[in-house]
Structure 1
């Protein structure tokens, strides 16, 4: 049962849900006037602005407190007018010395050249493909030419030769239609003389082999595009990285590498060498043609990798530890009357820079304004573009309190890893009581603000954001109370791993104090999670939140309201259990809040305990006449719909969460009570006032969320399936499809964000779960006397009460809107 962010209905104060009223019904005397509503909206807006400003100022106060310190400005050679001592422990980086050491480290990195091991193989494949295509295209021509030459030596073969020559002409014409060219296979054009020379040897495999071997021989040492890329000097060296094997070696003898022009100049001698043991050692035209071809096939296979070289040099520079000038708190580093040197200027400059950026009113104002802009932009972006984002005043106030406590904890923390944990704990607390979208919004702001506060590097800010997202994801998979503690243990383990990794990267050895720090970091994870589980209890009640913890508490059959339903309305109790099961399956199928719908199903019909005898599932005496028999259709409709109002009142009295209470009116929406509507129309006479369809509809509102839509469909479908004559999979699927189609056509799903894809998945989940409920059983024959009595009771039993809770009406009007068949 994984809770997902749920779209909450916005009330007038962006947090409270108003009591529903019958659709189309006028407001009562106690209803708010337009002026009162505008006044409430203005107050809500003012409160939201105040909370936003308060959060911004809070961040400014913590990050950049507006206290002013003045430091005298000195330059090299000035005389100190008094002793100057360090206000606290200082480690000021000597940027000049650090830069010099890093430049030296970068110079020691050799340039990297990539050697393409596949260059010769690629050329060989291209040549093989070209030669093979030419041989295939000309095979018939060459066969006919050979046959003609053979026949010429025989007597009386003139007619046969003429016939073969005609075929030869046809074959040559056919070959000209799509001749394979060098451009197709080599992306290069060759001279006619080269093509003629290759044709004279019929593009033979021996010639192909000599071409490939010549190219391989020239490329093997390494050919560069231009010698300008190479370092010069007797002591010059390069790093050769072979691709794709990725092996490396340092080359000291750079003379063995040649540029492309030199390589092409070598082609003639290499080709002559390879043709020496071939069938064509003295074919000058062929040697010239092959030399031209090999020159065209040559390409550089050794190239300088500037990006890899720069990256390796940057890595070498980054591994050089900065040079620091270390001072202890209270240490006098310049005495009165002494001349200021360059090191003194570096220290004074660092102190002055710190003053300018962290301890001035201007800095405080700037940080506050920037924080306000950042929060405001993220907030309004989320409101406009994130469908589920609905942070009301209540959420913003809770957010401000959590952020204040986080930043205070960060301020008191003595180690960056500790403050990263505090940020994650705040995200965990936010996720326990609020949806994931608001929690992620908080995690982003808190990570940035905390990073600025302690002036930590990007690694720590990134770690705090990753840790926050991890705990948000893990808590979102909430299935039992131990998940929060388990999340804390995982966070503690990650703290240890990252801290250990940081030590390893910095080549630091573990000392006893490090082991103590590892234990502290793990303990912070577990202890913080335990604290979150306790604090969340008070946060839920103080801010009226509905967390997964709260829903798990309500998912208990020993709850007084559930007990009351069980004893007073046993049929409704069974109906609620079935709805909870099928609604939970549907919610999981579309990624909605499965735990919420399961809990809401247990309480959605608690209002029926007020008048249980008017609902068919609670009429245990099947022979007793329905109380609706004596009532007018209007009165029956009022009684049936009153269980919604009664349920809301009971839920408020019992202190149920608002998200659960919202499901009580939304699970019926504004659906028409068809049975009583049809009955009223049948009893209507000319002297009666006209009927109003709204009088036979539930008060609403329509479902406002995916969970509400699932509840509405589950309630109707469960009641309808119970009336089926038999429970075959086809009948169940047909009933599910029809009820989903009816709800869609009636507009009951217009105000929730269920898509057609969602409806299809919901229908499949309903059909599968209900089929499992109503699996087939052996039907045992009943005694004849019992069957006769049962038939008499069925004939005399009034049908009035069977339809109000989701049964199928006797007659139904054709729909103007329709859906495709769902759940197949």
Structure 2
């Protein structure tokens, strides 16, 4: 029963790890990824359609499957905006002070003519002054019609308004004008032109309001003569006209602009269009029909197109996986499952941002944590895979956040995502500390903002200063949000999938870790041995494309179980007797093989990741303890009894190495111990010993459950030989050239 325990445990581990390499499981996971891509893009590319009729009662809530424009509501909003536009008035500079000056010059000239009687002068004034005022207006309108400075409709409105507001000078005024002296006329010229100029500088829609102010202004003027004041008042009133006129064309243009500037009214995704139990109106039906959301005819082509599109995206990842496998670094199903989860989290974040995004505020889309997937894939999986997935995520974002009607992609969000993803990969792919993630996040903020600015400059017509500031701000916030999410999600993936990122491994390699400090203080010999094994295994692992950093850190902890009974291991037996010399070899065997199990328990207590624990548990595999077995045989023979044990009783319980890393650490462990046991090793001895150790483990089937190849074992042997020669350089004796004895010539 005892002899079968190792093989049973090995079988259990084989079945447990089987799903990670199962081809059927892998195909299922790729199908899951296909469904994920299809489902994430369907709301935008293949919206749900409804089979309804006007007048029927809706059996369930009809919800908008995507953001759709409401044309009727938009038209109503446009008309409301147009109605709110106030009438536009245009101010026309009339220069009526010039007309006043010319009239007074005429009065001054005519009054000086003694050949004409006062009554005739009054008669002339009664005809000439109104005619002058009318002609000045007519000439002004005619000149501006011909020049095209103002529209014909405005000139018509001006002529109509001035005509309706014409002022009639009383007849008695004309009788008073001939009695004015030259000095009075000259004085009137200064005052009247000044008053006209001042009044016409205001905006006048009704001349009567301006004329009402004339009497007060003239009374407070410098005119002393009553007649001069009375005549001046009447002439000023007659000269004044409106200068602000209703502009029908400008008003219509303002209404058109108001309609054009009215934002489209959207029914947001998830809004209820028709509540359950409500009668479907023509308006509801038209809204759905205008946006192609009715099942007027069966059409499966969009679904097929989306399925092919999603298939192409998955095919790209599948081909990359195949090429990686051909290069000797295949991904297992656990890594594929993690990749699917990263895609799912990224897509969920895209849709959450999509909820905030509206037709009026599309720049909310830059809040998306665009580089989240790229950063997680780089740190947890592989930089090359991150580049491939960055392109795919950019495509997904350009569809999910697309606000452009009748377009499939929005290149702006796609370009933004691609730039920040590539920036994040470049900044984080050699990360050795978690602070590097923060630095990468800051770089994505900066490059994201630069990308937004570039896109704005390319399409500046649809942007305002305020929207540009919002877009830049959201791009910066999105970068910081990405950093927070990456730092928060990494422990989840590391714990759930047993992933050891480079960041985590560097943290575990810190000598101040409680277990490493315990190892150094209580078993300094084992600590030194572990460090040496770490150097050797790292070099060998990197030579075959395995995880060198994992081998180094795993080596630091692989013998931590020896701290339970440090004196029973030879590297810690300085200046003391070997306790194994005085105890039963079966007990010695139990103590020796227990260190692997004890190490695993201690690592579990300190919550070390599973790959580190696996190295501690598997580095000896099910190897045979020759020394204690033969010692037990010798004791049995000396006591004249039959052995009550077999070779299997003197083997480590396993399991055998399940990964390349565990196998490499096991080989390096044996090599370091063997070389250390030699007094004055030579290069030939080291080379022979390494080959013997690898061949012995190979013949003992210790590599049957990991994917090491014979070629890789040769590379490991050569690398370990070079590394040992470098590490133990001062101790290894190089063979000296042996001089052949010179043959003495025989004397004849």
Unaligned 5+ segments in structure 2 are 55-69, 79-258, 267-285, 403-407, 734-748
Q: How is 1:441-456 mapped onto 2 (pairs within 5 angstroms)? A: 443=390, 446-453=393-400, 454=402, 455-456=408-409
Task: State the partner residue of 2:619.
Answer: 667
Q: Deviations over 1:106-144 (max 9, x none)?
A: xxxxxxxxxxxxxxxxxxxxxxxxxxxxxxxxxxxxxxx
1:643 aligned to which of 595, 598, 607: 595
Q: How is 1:721-736 mapped onto 2 (pairs within 5 angstroms)? A: 721-729=675-683, 731-736=685-690
Structure number with higher helix proportion: 2
1:403 aligned to which of 332, 347, 351: 347
* Aligned 8 A contact 1:88 1:329 in 2: no
Q: Deviations over 1:451-476 (max 9, x none)?
A: 32124346754663565466346534
User: In 1, distance between residues paired with 2:75 and 2:710?
Assistant: 67
User: In 2, distance between residues paired with 1:602 and 1:363?
Assistant: 59
Task: State the partner residue of 1:429.
Answer: 376
* Aligned 8 A contact 1:68 1:361 in 2: no
Distance 1:85 1:586, change over 3 A: same
Distance 1:405 1:85, change over 3 A: closer
With normalisation by structure 2, the TM-score equals: 0.53
* Aligned 8 A contact 1:721 1:732 in 2: yes
Distance 1:748 1:497, change over 3 A: farther
Q: CA deviation at 1:722?
A: 0.6
User: In 1, distance between residues paired with 2:439 and 2:497?
Assistant: 26
Task: State the partner residue of 1:713.
Answer: 667
User: In 2, distance between residues paired with 1:409 and 1:23?
Assistant: 53
* Aligned 8 A contact 1:551 1:599 in 2: yes
Point out which structure has higher relative CO (alpha carbons under 8 A, 6+ apart): 1
State yes or no: 1:676 paired with 2:623. no
1:574 aligned to which of 523, 528, 531: 528
Q: Deviations over 1:336-388 (max 9, x none)?
A: xxxxxxxxxxxx9998456479xx99899879977986788788878888522
* Aligned 8 A contact 2:419 2:451 in 1: no
* Aligned 8 A contact 1:22 1:698 in 2: no
Q: How is 1:474-485 mapped onto 2 (pairs within 5 angstroms)? A: 474-485=427-438
Aligned with 2:396: secondary structure? helix
Q: How is 1:47-62 mapped onto 2 (pairs within 5 angstroms)? A: 55=36, 59=40
1:329 aligned to which of 260, 263, 276: 263
Q: CA deviation at 1:616?
A: 0.8
* Aligned 8 A contact 2:657 2:702 in 1: yes
Q: Cα RMSD over matched residues?
A: 5.2
2:333 aligned to which of 358, 369, 390: 390
Q: How is 1:228-627 mapped onto 2 (pairs within 5 angstroms)? A: 328-329=262-263, 352=290, 355=293, 386=325, 387-391=330-334, 400-412=344-356, 419=366, 422-434=369-381, 443=390, 446-453=393-400, 454=402, 455-457=408-410, 460-461=413-414, 464-465=417-418, 467-468=420-421, 471-472=424-425, 474-499=427-452, 501-502=454-455, 512=465, 514=468, 517-518=471-472, 521-522=475-476, 524-526=478-480, 528-537=482-491, 540=494, 545-622=499-576, 624-627=577-580
* Aligned 8 A contact 1:581 1:598 in 2: yes
* Aligned 8 A contact 2:420 2:444 in 1: yes
Distance 1:541 1:691, change over 3 A: closer
User: In 2, distance between residues paired with 1:508 and 1:554?
Assistant: 54
Aligned with 1:479: secondary structure? coil
Distance 1:331 1:681, change over 3 A: closer
Distance 1:327 1:551, change over 3 A: same
Task: State the partner residue of 1:86.
Answer: 74
Q: Deviations over 1:623-659 (max 9, x none)?
A: x243244213x33222211111111222222211111
Distance 1:384 1:602, change over 3 A: same
* Higher alpha-carbon Rg: 2
Task: State the partner residue of 1:144.
Answer: none
State yes or no: 1:631 paired with 2:615. no
User: In 2, distance between residues paired with 1:555 and 1:500?
Assistant: 43
State yes or no: 1:701 paired with 2:682. no
Task: State the partner residue of 1:132.
Answer: none
Q: CA deviation at 1:543?
A: 6.8
Q: Deviations over 1:652-671 (max 9, x none)?
A: 22211111111112211222
Distance 1:627 1:364, change over 3 A: farther
State yes or no: 1:652 paired with 2:604. yes
Task: State the partner residue of 1:23.
Answer: 6
User: In 2, distance between residues paired with 1:406 and 1:21?
Assistant: 53
* Aligned 8 A contact 2:617 2:654 in 1: yes
